[in-house]
Amino acid sequence: MQSCKLPIEVCERVIDNLALPAHNPTILDYDKAVEAVSTLYACSLVCRDWVPRSQHHLIRCVTLRTTRGADAFLSTIARHPHRAQSVQFLGIYPRPPPSSTKPASPSPTPSDSPAPTSSTLPSHSPALPASPVAPSSSHSPQIPVSVSNDQHVEETPSQSESGNLAHVPTTESSEFHISSRDRTQDKIEGKTSIPPCYYNWIYKVLTRLLPLLVNLSSLHLHGLPTLHPLFVRLVSCSKTLRTLIFSDLENQSFSEIIQVINRLPQLRSIYFEDTKWVRPVRFFSRRSHRFKDIFCGADDEYVNTDVLDWLGSPQDLSRLRLLLINPLQRSDLNKVHHILQRCMCSLEFLNLFSSDANMFGESCPTPTASHTDRSLHVESLSLSSHLKLEYMRIITTSSNLSQNVALLSSHISQLLSPSLVYLIIGHFEDLELESLVTSPSSWKDIDNALSQPKFNRLAYFVISLSVSHEGNIDHETLRATFQTILPQSYQRGILWVEKYIEAIEGRRGEHFPE
């Protein structure tokens, strides 16, 4: 770096900051980690002075796309075994075969090109032995662990006599995120399925790599038809794996996911994206997991039902901090009520969203049924006043906004926690201004309830509205209207009105802080 015009210390700091996302990639920034290492790799090819400083960063985040690239990476690990200790993120994104009509061969073809995001990989070198031996447990490397206060500590994994990793420290957080989408659009666009035999090389690579990557913390598998039956046994050999990321899985069973969780006691995060689920078999965990964050966002509602049943089994929820269920069926409200009773001492974030129009009793045929549905929902959420909730968002998509506001105003004191800091009332229907404020008395009841001394920690009271076009509601009129009907919140300086415009070019927001 002597040829650089900038001081050496500045260049080294730039390199370290550029590679920072690759130090501990998570489910939320794994793509940034891959991009950061790719950028650093490109800079090293341009400037030789960057190579010595960035060499130990380049192999932290490895991406494999073809069999040729996988063979090259295996050869590099065979020639330089110490480099395996630097790999923390492994992503396998197989390229589809050239034709889906003929079964693709797992052997490399001349058209394949290696695309691992790591240091320079040789194309020909000695292969690994058939059964690589993992390093001895006496030499346990230091692994960075993400803690709840956004700091990193060093932890040495210790292996018990039974072969399982020692109990995870209580400072770690855990996330459970399930999402899925419909594959109808793929059929419309003419996308065909890929032969499962094409992906056999992925499991062969994992069989040889996982015992060597002693510091691996994140594994991302993309585009697999389904998990191999031996996958659970395969990943259980990794004692440092904290995050599993899957995308584009076909015909996946939730019971297999439970088996993965049971075999990996050190697992913090498991993330499924664009997954087509099949009806899972009832198979629940017998081991107590100290999850902190639970994400359930599946398009198939029965998956969320099974997740709630799994949480209702003997699980340790004493440290559950976040609970997100989307969508929530009305028949599952009692299960949520039972879960809230078990985690009321630790829960801080609660997000329950229902796609059922009758969940809140807006369109029930009789007043009795309407009252029953509302009471059931309010009863299930009334425990939130005993929770340590700091964030609460109440969203309605019904055209009868005044009825929902009246229901909210009558139970506002029972629903809100004294530790509440953020309160958001959202509405996602395009209504006129007259429809938004048809019940000013209910809004004033909410304003009076929020002015009580027990809610003195409340710092943001947000009214979030969504309209289809800009001329529907004038923002100045909207601001003045809510200033009038919510005078106490306006005087405290906590009122915040935001309007989202659903335009053709996309969604953009207009915020009006008070």
- The pLDDT of 20-48, averaged and rounded, is 59
Ranked by mean pLDDT, the top range of 99-108, 397-406, 474-483 is: 474-483
| More confident: 108 or 224 | 224
Ranked by mean pLDDT, the top range of 31-35, 147-151, 436-440, 446-450 is: 446-450
Out of 72-81, 160-169, 290-299, 446-455, pick the least confident: 160-169
pLDDT tens for residues 230-252? 777 788 878 888 888 877 776 66
pLDDT of 221 above 80? yes
pLDDT tens for residues 62-100? 888 888 888 888 888 888 888 888 888 888 887 765 554
Burial 358-375 (b: 16+ CB within 10 A, else e): ebbbbebeeeeebeebbe
Q: Is residue 381 part of a domain?
A: no
Look at residues 37, 25, 3 and name the one whose alpha carbon lies nearest to residue 245: 25
**Percent of all residues in the chain with a pLDDT value above 70, rounded to a whole number:** 37
DSSP string over 25-52? --TTTHHHHHHHHHHHHHHHHH-GGGHH
| More confident: 346 or 412 | 412
- The pLDDT of 1-10, averaged and rounded, is 62
**Percent of all residues in the chain with a pLDDT value above 90, rounded to a whole number:** 0
- The pLDDT of 137-141, averaged and rounded, is 31
Residue 199 has what pLDDT? 67
Residue 76 has what pLDDT? 87
Q: What is the dihedral of CA 23, 26, 32, 34, to 10 degrees?
A: 70
Task: Give the chain's mean pLDDT.
Answer: 61
Q: Is residue 28 part of a domain?
A: yes
Cβ neighbours around 434 below 10 Å, total: 7
pLDDT of 510 above 50? no
| Cα–Cα distance, 97 to 344 (Å, whole number) | 51
| More confident: 428 or 504 | 428
pLDDT band at 218 (very low <50, low <70, confident <90, very high): confident
Q: Which residue has the tokens 């359930």?
A: 296
CA dihedral for 71, 248, 91, 138, sign (positive or negative): negative
pLDDT of 174 above 70? no
Residue 13 has what pLDDT? 72
pLDDT tens for residues 356-381? 444 433 332 222 222 223 333 444 45
Q: Is residue 271 part of a domain?
A: no
Residue 415 has what pLDDT? 72
Is 132 in contact with 72 (CB distance < 8 Å)? Answer: no
pLDDT of 436 above 80? no
Q: Is residue 19 part of a domain?
A: yes
| More confident: 508 or 416 | 416
The amino acid at residue 380 is S
* Residue 29 belongs to domain spanning: 1-58
Q: Among 58, 82, 97, give the residue marking a domain's end.
A: 58
The domain tally of the chain equals 2
CA dihedral for 395, 397, 399, 403, sign (positive or negative): negative
pLDDT of 480 above 80? yes
Q: Is residue 457 part of a domain?
A: yes
- The pLDDT of 397-421, averaged and rounded, is 71
pLDDT band at 265 (very low <50, low <70, confident <90, very high): confident
Q: Is residue 415 part of a domain?
A: yes
Out of 145-154, 345-354, 421-430, 455-464, pick the least confident: 145-154
Q: Is residue 472 part of a domain?
A: yes
Burial 55-80 (b: 16+ CB within 10 A, else e): eebbbbbbbbbbbbbbbbbbbbbbee
| Cα–Cα distance, 239 to 163 (Å, whole number) | 9
Q: Among 58, 79, 106, give the residue marking a domain's end.
A: 58
- The pLDDT of 170-198, averaged and rounded, is 42
Q: Is residue 488 part of a domain?
A: yes
Q: Among 17, 41, 58, give the residue marking a domain's end.
A: 58
Residue 321 has what pLDDT? 64
pLDDT of 215 above 80? yes
